[in-house]
Amino acid sequence: MPTLLEILDQLKLVTYETALLGLFITASVILLFKDWRILILALLAQYVLVGIILMRLVRPDIAVLKILIGAFICPILFLSARQISVRPSLNVETWSFKLGRWRDLSGGVSALTGQYSSTPTGLVFRIFVGLIMILVILTISSSFPLPGSAATVTTAVYWLVVSGLVTLMITEDPMKAGHGLFTVLVGFDLYYTTLENSLLLTGLWGSVTLLIALAVGYLTVVKGTGLEEDA
Amino acid sequence: MPPALWLVALPIGVAPIVYVLRRVGLGAIVAAIITFLSAWLAANLPTGVVLNLLGRPIALDALSQTTLTLVFSATSILFLTLTLLSVAQEKRVTHFGKVTGQEGRVFYPAALIILGLFVAASLSRHLGITAIFIELAAILMVFVIQTQRLESTRAALRFLTLVSLATPIFLLAAWRIDAYQLSGGIVTLAEIDQTAMLVGIGFALWLAVVPFHGWLTSTATESAPITAVFVLITFPMVVFSTLINLFADLPWLTNSTFLMNAILIAGVATAFVGGVWASMQRGFSELMGYAALYNIGCTLALLGLGGQAAVLTILVNLTVRALALVLIAVSTSTLYLRVASDGFSYVNGMVREMPLAAAGLIIGGLTLAGTPFTAGFAPYWQLLRSAAANNPSWVIFLVLGGLGVAVGYLRGLWALLGSDRRVERASKPFSTNILRNSQEPRFLMIIIIVVAFICILTGLFPNLLIDPLRKTALHVPWLIQ
Residues of B in contact with A177 (CB under 8 A): 157, 161
Return d(Cα B3, Cα B56) in angstroms, integer: 18
> Does position B352 have pLDDT exceeding 60, yes or no?
yes
Strands (E), B179-305: none
> Does position A172 have pLDDT exceeding 90, yes or no?
no
**Cα nearest neighbour of A164 on chain B:** B165
- Nearest-neighbour CA in chain A from B110: distance (Å): 13
Helix pair B377-390, B310-335: axis angle to 10 deg: 140
User: Which has more confidence, B206 or B150?
Assistant: B206
- Please say whether the beta carbons of B237 and B75 come within 8 A: no
To test the contact with chain B by mutation, choose from A169, A185, A205 the residue with the greatest count of B C-beta atoms within 10 A, namely A205
Return d(Cα B274, Cα B284) in angstroms, integer: 14
pLDDT of residue A95: 44
pLDDT of residue B46: 86
B132 part of contact set with chain A, CB < 8 Å: yes
- B27 CB-near residues (< 8 Å, 6+ apart): B17, B18, B19, B20, B21, B100, B108, B109
Residue B95, class by beta-carbon neighbours within 10 Å (0-12 exposed, 13-18 middle, 19+ buried)?
Answer: exposed
pLDDT of residue A120: 62
Of the candidates B156, B164, B175, the beta carbon closest to that of A219 is on B156
CB contact under 8 A, A222 and B168: no
- Give the residues across from B343 on adjacent strands: B283
> Does position A115 have pLDDT exceeding 90, yes or no?
no
Residues of A in contact with B149 (CB under 8 A): 222
- Please say whether the beta carbons of B254 and B379 come within 8 A: no
To test the contact with chain B by mutation, choose from A222, A225, A227 the residue with the greatest count of B C-beta atoms within 10 A, namely A222
A192 part of contact set with chain B, CB < 8 Å: yes
CB atoms near residue B2 (< 10 Å):
14
> What is the CA angle B48-B52-B56, rounded to 5?
105
The closest of B365, B236, B370 to B300, measured between CA atoms, is B236
- Nearest-neighbour CA in chain B from A160: distance (Å): 13
Residues of A in contact with B124 (CB under 8 A): none
**Cα nearest neighbour of A218 on chain B:** B143
pLDDT of residue B105: 76
CB atoms near residue A7 (< 10 Å):
12
> Does position B96 have pLDDT exceeding 50, yes or no?
no
Residues of A in contact with B173 (CB under 8 A): none
Strands (E), chain A: 109-110, 115-116
CB contact under 8 A, A208 and B132: yes
Residues of A in contact with B142 (CB under 8 A): 215, 218-219
Mean of the per-residue pLDDT values of chain B: 87
Return d(Cα B26, Cα A221) in angstroms, integer: 30
Of the candidates B146, B167, B172, the beta carbon closest to that of A219 is on B146
> Does position B206 have pLDDT exceeding 60, yes or no?
yes
Lowest-confidence pick of A215-219, B128-132, B435-439: B435-439
Arithmetic mean of pLDDT, A37-56: 92
The H or E element spanning position B319 is helix B310-335
Per-residue DSSP letters for B91-130? T-TT-TTSPPPHHHHHHHHHHHHHHHHHHHHHHB--HHHH
**Cα nearest neighbour of B166 on chain A:** A185
Return d(Cα B418, Cα B457) in angstroms, integer: 29
CB contact under 8 A, A208 and B139: yes
Lowest-confidence pick of A81-90, A144-153, B268-277: A81-90
Cα-Cα-Cα-Cα dihedral sign, residues B366, B370, B371, B375: positive
Q: ipTM of the predicted structure?
A: 0.88
Instruction: pLDDT band for B92, please (50, 70, 90 cuts).
Output: very low
Lowest-confidence pick of B97-101, B134-138, B155-159, B477-481: B97-101
Lowest-confidence pick of A140-154, B35-49, B183-197: B183-197
- Nearest-neighbour CA in chain A from B116: distance (Å): 16
Cα-Cα-Cα-Cα dihedral sign, residues B305, B309, B314, B320: negative
How do residues B256-312 score in pLDDT, each as one tens digit? Answer: 878 999 999 999 999 999 999 999 999 999 999 999 999 999 999 999 998 878 889
Lowest-confidence pick of B175-189, B375-389, B406-420: B175-189
How do residues A4-45 score in pLDDT, each as one tens digit? Answer: 667 767 777 778 888 889 999 999 999 998 888 999 999 999
What is the radius of gyration, based on Cα positions, of chain A?
18
How do residues B28-67 score in pLDDT, each as one tens digit? Answer: 888 999 999 999 999 988 888 777 776 677 888 889 999 9
To test the contact with chain B by mutation, choose from A201, A202, A210, A214 the residue with the greatest count of B C-beta atoms within 10 A, namely A201
How do residues B427-474 score in pLDDT, each as one tens digit? Answer: 444 444 555 556 778 888 999 999 999 999 999 999 999 998 888 888
pLDDT of residue A5: 67
